């Protein structure tokens, strides 16, 4: 991670907040975290009488059930179950006793490293492993001391297994349930004592590394898992948003609801007054049912002023990007090593290439939604959200209250992929609820959801490479032009200071460009495309910057290898020499590449005409949080340019595997996301609006398009790293490189289409 | 006020005849296992059975299903133990899980008619159901596992009968 994101809320991460409390979880009451009568969600108040609460992260009931409160958003990565698994390892509990629930936005549930509630970056396991381990261990120690006292034996002679503490010498034993029921647990821990606990060495693990059944899965096979869209509150009515034809910057001139008034159940049309500037020109049609809200929404006659972006298109954004890149003084330096200008002067060969990616839409299958309810002074918000800390503040801004009066009730997320880091859905829910004086559930139509996505931005990258007489890469200038998703959040701590201290840049647009290859002269410029930034407010889409930076880097490295007549895999391995700051990481990446090559049989056999294998390797997500990932793509290209992906072989070094089966599921899903973005998903801007509105025109990969995917997970005992995203980023360049090897066509724009391959063939 | 036969029970629904079945199931009957995904029959998240056939409930008006037998994920089995539901757990299929009610209902319609489908038949039958987490390979494995279990169970039943 970027070290500067630690204090996302502007407050230092306060360890004492996580000091251990026994039998008390009252810290939230001042903010109104009382149990809501009739609440459907998972956010029950924890501090039930008689429970043992060794930490804010879990509670043990007198029946021995251990309920873990997960402060991370669970969007299918099973992070709640993973947190329970890490706790269970040290606690010594039986897996069948473990349960999970989702945290509210009470700051006591903030991420122990990030100091806020935010889920992304494939950070969660890495950043919570230590805290959850210590929480589990502290519980075990406290239970053991109580058991020792009750049995009258030394604590050091006790054995903890499967929720039972036994004394082998005397054959006495007590279950966790019996110990909690006794009410005799007295041990508490200061932060220093917590820090001093000796955790289990890896060779004693009995839970970490085991593919236990995910705790959330049964509820996702019988319809009982509750997502935001499933929230039902007494007296609740429904809102359907009406969004303008322009993505951002439009204003409502007039609303005629005369036809809507004829719709049975129609209550009111609410024009949003969004001082948080998250939305522009939105109206909510509120009715007694969602079906009636839809009808009323369709019956509203709204006129708009399209605003400053109403004439813009994808072409205008790309033209502007190219203009900005050509300026010498654009942007800020993310990497500035050596002297590229001097090196280009002495280079034997200089090559340039331009790489682009189009707008991409998150489109999680659960459309955006939120339910708002005002009770007394407290706004209760029900929604599946990845950034409760900021989204609560946006809800507060929409309501015109201090953020301390907002309680976020977390739900299971019907897909996140970065979309639910944003808070736009809070605004219509709050303002509609305020206008009608009732709880309101706002549900976007798929059309709202697609056209108002905080999309992966259109990107333009120019790469200039200088090679010496031996074909070695000695200089690289890499310019990255895009909207800046993180800048839009308005949290200065999330920006990265430029290397020459000339300002803050959005590291989440250039991560990955600071790769582990040894290149003595290396510049990376992050250039803000202000036009795109304003017209297409962008967001973090699964894998974020490495989804485009590695498309450029790993394509260009391949082009260089071919230009000097070297095998592209060997060319990479030569540059992964581990010199200087690349020590360790470079070698891990090299090993991962070799593993993928070995599994795929790279270079071992002659492929039929029209087929090819291509490689790519990445240190995604960020230099400091990399999961070393490599791919060999095997494709067949028809003379028409049609590409058939025969197989994707992915190897990834994750250090330590908490849950091997889940890692495989995540890596496979991520690889297919990478394929979907590389070949099937494309959104375009026209007249200021996103043209694709549903799954007929925006077309993520379907089952029939799925190739064989082979996954090899390397666990070498290093620290556990993330797996939700890295494999997304390695696929597109591996495919592009495979296509080149198959037919000589070099494609430099995503998504790759039959037309673009055919066109590149004629240039080959 | 249409009367619906849903999961073996007769229920009256306070909604207009042109209301999509999806919203009546979710809101009036408060059975939220059936999901809204696209509102256009493009994703399959809202799949239910009408007289045993898989249909998109977002594209089905209440007036079209009066007098017909409707089954939702909540009614697929008494205890969530349909062979497909067990297979979904055994193969640890769901990630976010949002599409999975629809996937299971779509698959159940296939297996009720064909308990020995080929991979190609599975793909063809399931291709209208989007999974944004891309759990497709596990969905395939789970369908094959459930089909195998159903065949074994029916063979066992036949043996007992003879």
Q: What is the pLDDT of residue A13?
A: 31
Flag whether pLDDT at A32 surpasses 70.
no
Contact B113, B125 (CB under 8 A): no
| Nearest-neighbour CA in chain A from B160: distance (Å) | 30
Counting one residue from chain A and one from chain B, the pairs whose CB atoms sit within 8 A come to 166
Instruction: Give the closest residue to B83 by CA, choosing from B154, B129, B145, B33.
Output: B145
Query: Looking at the whole model, is its pTM more than 0.90?
Result: yes
CA distance, residue B154 to nearest chain A CA (Å): 23
Q: What is the 3-state secondary structure (H, E, C) of A163-197?
A: CEEEECCCCEEEEHHHHHHHCCCCCCCCHHHHHHC
pLDDT by residue (tens digit) across A657-711? 999 999 999 999 999 999 999 999 999 999 999 999 999 999 999 999 999 999 9
Task: Give the C-alpha separation, A228 to A386, whole Å.
Answer: 12
Q: Which residues of B touch A229 (CB under 8 A)?
A: 32, 35-36
Tell me the mean pLDDT in the region A219-248: 98
CB A175 within 8 A of CB A191: no
Burial class (CB in 10 A: 0-12, 13-18, 19+), A763: exposed
What tokens appear for A188 in the block? 């508490």
Confidence class of residue A45 from pLDDT cuts 50, 70 and 90? very low
* Helix residue ranges per DSSP H, A356-459: 388-399, 426-436, 446-451
Q: What is the average per-residue pLDDT within A458-472? A: 98
Residues of B numbered 6-65 whose beta carbons fall under 8 angstroms of chain A's beta carbons: which are they? 15-16, 19-20, 23-24, 26-28, 30-40, 42-43, 45
Reduced to 3 states (helix: H, G, I; strand: E, B; else coil), residue B28 is: helix
Residue whose C-alpha is closest to residue A684's, from A230, A263, A318? A318
Q: Which stretches of chain B drop beneath a pLDDT of 70?
A: 161-162
Mean pLDDT of A357-385: 98
**DSSP secondary structure, A398-421, as one string:** HHTS-GGGEEEEE-B-S--TTGGG
Per residue in A266-285, pLDDT (tens digit) is: 999 999 999 999 999 999 99
Which residues from chain A sit within 8 angstroms of residue B80, using beta carbons?
Answer: 218, 221-222
With contacts defined as CB-CB under 8 Å, which chain B residues touch A77? 95
> Nearest chain A Cα to B90, which residue?
A213
Q: Among candidates A489, A536, A488, which has minimal Cα distance to A309?
A: A536
The answer, yes or no, to whether residue A26 has pLDDT greater than 80, is: no
Confidence class for position A49, pLDDT limits 50, 70, 90: low
Q: What is the mean pLDDT of residues A412-434?
A: 98
CA angle A696, A700, A706 (to 5 degrees): 125
Distance (Å, whole) CA A532 – CA A699: 23
Interchain contact, A365 vs B35, CB within 8 Å: yes
- The pLDDT, as a whole number, for residue A331 is 97
pLDDT of residue A48: 52
φ, ψ of residue A559 to 5 degrees: the values are -60, -40
Share of chain A above pLDDT 90, in %: 87
For A527-584, what is each residue's pLDDT tens digit?
Answer: 999 999 999 999 999 999 999 999 999 999 999 999 999 999 999 999 999 999 999 9
Work out the minimum CA distance from A286 to partner chain B, whole angstroms. 15
Q: What is the pLDDT of residue B157?
A: 79
pLDDT digits (tens, 9 = 90+) for A140-193: 999 999 999 999 999 999 999 999 999 999 999 999 999 999 988 888 888 888
Q: Is B122 exposed, middle or buried (0-12, 13-18, 19+ CB in 10 A)?
A: buried
Residue A617 has pLDDT above 90, yes or no: yes
Q: How confident is the model at residue A40 (pLDDT cuts 50, 70, 90)?
A: very low
What is the per-residue pLDDT across A68-91, written as a single tens digit (0 to 9) for each? Answer: 999 999 999 999 999 999 999 999
What the block records as the tokens of B41 is 């029959």
Q: Is the per-residue pLDDT at A33 higher than 70?
A: no
CA neighbours closer than 13 Å in the CB half-sphere of residue B15: 29
- Measured N-to-C along each axis, helices A726-743 and A546-563 cross at an angle, to the nearest 10 degrees, of 30
Contact A291 B27 (CB under 8 A): yes
Range with top average pLDDT, A24-33, A117-126, A535-544: A535-544
Of chain A residues 536-595, which have a CB less than 8 A from chain B?
A: none
More confident residue, A113 or B94: B94
Task: Find the mean pLDDT for residues A434-460.
Answer: 98
User: What angle do helix axes A726-743 and A660-679 make, rounded to 10 degrees?
Assistant: 50
Residue A186 is predicted with a pLDDT of 82
């Amino acid at each position: 991670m970027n070290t500067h994101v630690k204090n996302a809320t502007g407050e230092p991460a306060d360890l004492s907040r996580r000091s251990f409390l026994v039998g008390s979880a009252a810290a939230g009451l001042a903010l109104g975290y009382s149990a809501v009568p009739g609440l459907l969600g998972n956010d029950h108040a924890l501090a039930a009488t008689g429970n043992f609460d060794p930490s804010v992260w879990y509670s043990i009931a007198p029946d021995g059930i251990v309920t873990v409160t997960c402060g991370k958003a669970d969007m299918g990565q099973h992070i709640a179950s993973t947190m329970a698994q890490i706790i269970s390892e040290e606690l010594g509990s039986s897996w069948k006793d473990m349960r999970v629930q989702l945290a509210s936005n009470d700051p006591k549930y903030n991420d122990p490293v990030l100091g806020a509630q935010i889920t992304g970056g494939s950070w969660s396991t890495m950043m919570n492993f230590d805290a959850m381990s210590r929480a589990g261990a502290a519980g075990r120690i406290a239970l053991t001391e109580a058991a020792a006292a009750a049995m009258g034996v030394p604590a050091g002679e006790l054995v903890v297994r499967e929720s039972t503490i036994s004394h082998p010498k005397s054959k006495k034993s007590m279950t966790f349930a019996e110990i909690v029921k006794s009410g005799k647990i007295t041990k508490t821990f200061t932060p220093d004592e917590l820090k001093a606990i000796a955790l289990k060495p890896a060779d004693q693990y009995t839970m970490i590394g085991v593919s236990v059944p995910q705790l959330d899965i049964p509820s996702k096979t019988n319809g009982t898992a509750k997502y935001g869209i499933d929230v039902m509150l007494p007296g609740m009515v429904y809102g359907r948003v009406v969004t303008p034809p322009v993505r951002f910057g439009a204003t409502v001139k007039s609303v005629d609801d005369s036809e809507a008034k004829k719709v049975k159940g129609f209550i009111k049309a609410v024009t949003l007054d969004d001082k948080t500037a998250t939305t522009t020109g939105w109206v909510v049609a509120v009715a007694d049912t969602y079906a009636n809200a839809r009808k009323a929404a369709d019956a509203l006659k709204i006129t708009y002023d399209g605003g400053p972006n109403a004439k813009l298109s994808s072409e205008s954004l790309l033209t502007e990007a190219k203009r900005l890149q050509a300026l010498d003084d654009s942007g800020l330096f993310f990497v500035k090593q050596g002297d590229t200008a001097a090196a280009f002067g002495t280079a034997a060969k200089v090559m340039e290439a331009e790489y682009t990616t189009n707008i991409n839409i998150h489109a999680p299958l659960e459309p955006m939604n939120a339910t708002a309810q005002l009770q007394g002074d407290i706004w209760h918000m029900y929604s599946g959200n990845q950034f409760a800390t900021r989204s609560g503040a946006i809800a507060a801004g929409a309501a015109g209250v201090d953020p301390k009066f907002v309680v976020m009730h977390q739900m299971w997320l019907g897909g996140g992929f970065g979309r639910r880091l944003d808070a736009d859905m809070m605004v219509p829910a709050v303002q509609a609820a305020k206008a009608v004086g009732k709880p309101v559930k706002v549900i976007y139509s798929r059309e709202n959801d697609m056209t108002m996505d905080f999309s992966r931005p259109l990107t333009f990258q120019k790469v200039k490479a200088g090679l010496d007489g031996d074909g070695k890469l000695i200089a690289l200038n890499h310019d990255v032009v895009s909207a800046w998703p993180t800048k839009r959040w308005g949290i200065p701590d999330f920006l990265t200071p430029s290397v020459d201290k000339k300002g803050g840049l959005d590291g989440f647009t250039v991560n990955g460009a600071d790769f582990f290859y040894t290149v003595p002269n290396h510049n990376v410029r992050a250039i803000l495309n202000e036009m795109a930034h304003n017209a297409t407010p962008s967001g973090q889409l699964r894998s974020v910057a490495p989804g485009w930076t590695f498309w450029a880097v790993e394509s260009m490295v391949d082009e260089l290898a071919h230009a000097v007549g070297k095998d592209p895999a060997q060319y990479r391995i030569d540059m992964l020499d581990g010199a200087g700051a690349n020590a360790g990481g470079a070698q891990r990446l090299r090993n991962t590449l070799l593993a993928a090559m070995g599994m795929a049989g790279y270079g071992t056999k002659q492929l039929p005409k029209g087929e090819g294998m291509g490689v790519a390797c990445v240190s995604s997500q960020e230099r400091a949080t990399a999961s070393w990932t490599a791919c060999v793509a095997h494709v067949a290209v028809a003379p028409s340019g049609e590409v058939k992906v025969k197989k994707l072989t992915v190897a990834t070094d994750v250090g330590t595997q908490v849950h091997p089966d889940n890692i495989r599921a995540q890596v496979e899903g991520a690889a297919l996301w990478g394929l979907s973005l590389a070949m099937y998903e494309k959104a375009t801007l026209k007249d200021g609006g996103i043209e694709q509105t549903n799954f007929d025109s925006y077309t993520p990969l379907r089952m029939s398009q799925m190739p064989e995917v082979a996954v090899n997970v390397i666990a070498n005992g290093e620290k556990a790293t993330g797996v939700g995203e890295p494999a997304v980023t390695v696929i597109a360049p591996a495919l592009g490189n495979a296509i080149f090897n198959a037919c000589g066509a070099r494609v430099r724009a995503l998504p790759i289409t039959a037309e673009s391959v055919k066109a590149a063939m004629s240039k080959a | 006020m249409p009367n619906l036969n849903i999961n073996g029970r007769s229920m009256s629904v306070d909604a207009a005849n042109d209301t999509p079945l999806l919203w009546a199931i979710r809101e009036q009957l408060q059975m939220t296992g059936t999901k809204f995904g696209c509102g256009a029959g493009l994703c399959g998240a809202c799949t239910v059975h009408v007289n045993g056939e898989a249909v998109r409930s977002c594209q089905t008006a209440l007036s079209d299903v009066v007098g017909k037998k409707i089954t939702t994920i909540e009614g697929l089995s008494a205890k969530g133990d349909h062979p497909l539901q067990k297979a979904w757990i055994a193969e640890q299929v769901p990630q976010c899980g949002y599409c999975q009610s629809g996937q299971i209902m779509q698959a159940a319609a296939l297996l009720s008619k064909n308990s020995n489908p080929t991979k190609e038949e599975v793909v063809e039958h399931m291709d209208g159901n989007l999974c944004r987490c891309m759990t497709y390979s596990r969905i395939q494995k789970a369908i094959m596992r459930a089909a195998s279990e159903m065949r074994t169970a029916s063979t066992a039943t036949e043996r007992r009968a003879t």
